[in-house]
Structure 1
Amino acid sequence: MEAHPKFVWFDGAVVPWEQANVHVSTATVLRGANVFEGVRAYWNADERELFIFRNDEHMARLRNSAKIMRMAVPWTKDELTRAQVEVLRANAFEGTVWFRLSLYVGEGEDHIWPPEQVPVGGFILPRLAPHLPRITEGVDTCISTWTRIADTSVPPRVKAGANYHNSRLAVMEARTNGFAGQPILLNERGKVSEGPGACFCMIRDGALITPPVTANILESITRATVLELARDALKLKVEEREIDRTELYVADEGFF
């Protein structure tokens, strides 16, 4: 399997991998000024088609992130949806794909105002993403000493590239301490927040429990789907509430 796709959608067109370049002087390179969506497209072997997971919800969250970051989106929802389809077809994937749809701040002076004058580019970077063994085998985990970023400083409601420095520090600490799985981060109140790249749920006394969106977590589309399935399909009791650290040690199970 190739380490990278043959084609990338970049600033309005599908181009070969080698031509998808961002200049070193852009704010996205210098300051991590970008917002993005990480989206899965699931392969159906019978129909030999890819099906993008909850596209409307991803497009809405992308625009919310851009709005908070004061970035004007130069493409419509339909244009970005067509771009996703074009780049997936260009790569002729035959398997489940994960792709990153990013909007980035380009070149210009610091703190440009109004938002309509902020130079914004975009790219869609896809790759094959088969399920990993940890999906069924489980992982080890730990509580990170790093605190989850807060809404009053670097809001996790925004899915921005710069936010993931917090995640990277937590993961590097976990690896240094011998853990292969994702660590769990607490928020500034000492309550469970989420993992470095995924929301957290636990089962306790037959109920599915997960931190609320006010616990400094991403407003996760996967999380919303899990809660919907738990309520409607599995008929589980679902609680969205704060979780104490010590509850993790007496939970029946937990997952990201």
Structure 2
Amino acid sequence: MDTSNAPYMILNGKVVPFAEARIHCLAPAVTYGANVFEGLRAYWNADDGQLYVFRVEEHLDRLFYSAKVMRIEHPWTREDFRNGLLELLRVNEVKESVHMRIHLYVDEDGFMTATSPGGMFISCVFRPTSKIAMQGCRAQVSSWTRISDNASPPRVKSAANYFNGRLASLQAKSDGYDTAILLSETGRVTEGPGACLFIVRDGRIVTPDVSNDILESITRATLIEGAKEWLGLDVEQRPIARTELYAADEVFFCGTGQEVLPVVEVDRFPVGTGTVGPITAELQRRYFGVARGTDTAHPDWRTPVYV
């Protein structure tokens, strides 16, 4: 995937050139992983001549929750982050779809137990929807076990948690797959390295419940609501066994970064017909429409940038 960083970032509330956005190498964010974040997407609507940031308020809710659990003290308000996102997009004159990151972290030199001073940055990366999202990916059930809520809570979007998915991703790629699926300590399906997971079986959509060591995903919540609204289908939230992946008619990942990503093969077993399934394709189509604003439903989910 072709990506490039925007010329400017926001560091501790101020616009700075990309090359000047730095933190201290001994900051607890670096040495101990004291860092929480959010990934957001902004979608360009050529018909409206408008850029929309998708579900800003929900992302800010989760950011502040993550900072609370990780005990990161900081002076910034929701308005600071919301205004910072919009300012960054405007100063970079963004008129295409982009991926954004907000990070909150413990800055300067400190011990493992340091909770302050808080630092923040907001970045913007030109990252189009991947080609694999249209054709589907090949996934491996990883030998690595998903981290648990009592060890390193997955519902917290902490940078430190992503080492678990990183190990699974590296293993999957070295074994010839595109990505991985992690199981819990009890052998139940959880999610991918950076995305939640759904299966479709006999016309029913199923996803692991949020107590099953997964992130409380905003995209997941969007699709659960969307499945009911767009397709008239309720989503079952329950444990999923590994072998259900092999019996599923469709499997797909979802997340801000991966959007709606079909899975066409698991452990070299084809999923359904081995192509993108109809329910996945329709959810993907409707998701992009609402996020981009070509579908005018849920205007409260979209924050316009150029007003």
State TM-score, norm by structure 2: 0.80
The SS at the match of 2:5 is: coil
- Structure 2: distance between partners of 1:219 and 1:72: 22
- C-alpha deviations, 1:218-243, integer Å up to 9, x for none? 00000000000001221013100000
From 163, 166, 171, give the equivalent of 1:165. 163
Which deviates more, 99-108 or 246-255? 99-108
1:132-147 to 2 correspondences below 5 Å: 132-147=130-145
Q: Which amino acid in structure 2 is aligned with residue 194 of structure 1?
A: E
Structure 2 match to 1:254: 251
Is contact 2:9-2:123 (8 Å) kept?
Answer: yes
Is contact 1:199-1:220 (8 Å) kept?
Answer: yes
Q: Which amino acid in structure 1 is aligned with residue 141 of structure 2?
A: I
Provide the alpha-carbon RMSD of the alignment. 1.3
CA displacement at 1:112 relative to structure 2: 4.6
- Structure 2: distance between partners of 1:185 and 1:9: 34
Is contact 1:11-1:123 (8 Å) kept?
Answer: yes
- C-alpha deviations, 1:57-115, integer Å up to 9, x for none? 000000000000011232110111000001111111121111010001112432557x5
From 237, 240, 244, give the equivalent of 1:240. 237
Is contact 1:108-1:119 (8 Å) kept?
Answer: no
1:112-191 to 2 correspondences below 5 Å: 112=113, 115=115, 118-180=116-178, 182-191=179-188
Is contact 1:41-1:52 (8 Å) kept?
Answer: yes
1:51 aligns with 2:49: no
Structure 2 match to 1:214: 211
Structure 2 match to 1:11: 12
Q: Which amino acid in structure 1 is aligned with residue 185 of structure 2?
A: E
Is contact 1:206-1:237 (8 Å) kept?
Answer: no
The SS at the match of 1:233 is: helix
1:61-140 to 2 correspondences below 5 Å: 61-112=62-113, 115=115, 118-140=116-138
In structure 1, stretches of 5+ residues that fail to align are none
- Structure 2: distance between partners of 1:75 and 1:107: 17
Is contact 2:35-2:106 (8 Å) kept?
Answer: yes
- Structure 2: distance between partners of 1:237 and 1:105: 41
- Structure 1: distance between partners of 2:136 and 2:121: 33
1:40 aligns with 2:41: yes
From 223, 226, 249, give the equivalent of 2:223. 226
Query: Number of residues paired by the alignment?
Result: 252
Is contact 1:44-1:50 (8 Å) kept?
Answer: yes
Q: Which amino acid in structure 1 is aligned with residue 101 of structure 2?
A: R
- C-alpha deviations, 1:158-193, integer Å up to 9, x for none? 10111111011000000110112x210001110000
Larger RCO (CA under 8 A, 6+ residues apart): 2
Q: Which amino acid in structure 2 is aligned with residue 119 of structure 1?
A: P
Is contact 1:187-1:215 (8 Å) kept?
Answer: yes
The SS at the match of 1:191 is: coil
Segments of 4+ moved more than 3 angstroms: none
- Structure 2: distance between partners of 1:93 and 1:81: 16
- Structure 1: distance between partners of 2:81 and 2:246: 44
Which deviates more, 70-79 or 103-112? 103-112
- C-alpha deviations, 1:18-66, integer Å up to 9, x for none? 1101110101111121000000111111222211111110000000000
The SS at the match of 1:193 is: coil
Which deviates more, 228-237 or 213-222? 228-237
- Structure 1: distance between partners of 2:247 and 2:139: 15
Is contact 2:27-2:108 (8 Å) kept?
Answer: yes
- State the percentage of identical aligned residues: 46
The SS at the match of 2:86 is: helix
- Structure 2: distance between partners of 1:15 and 1:218: 31
Q: Which amino acid in structure 2 is aligned with residue 128 of structure 1?
A: F
State TM-score, norm by structure 1: 0.95
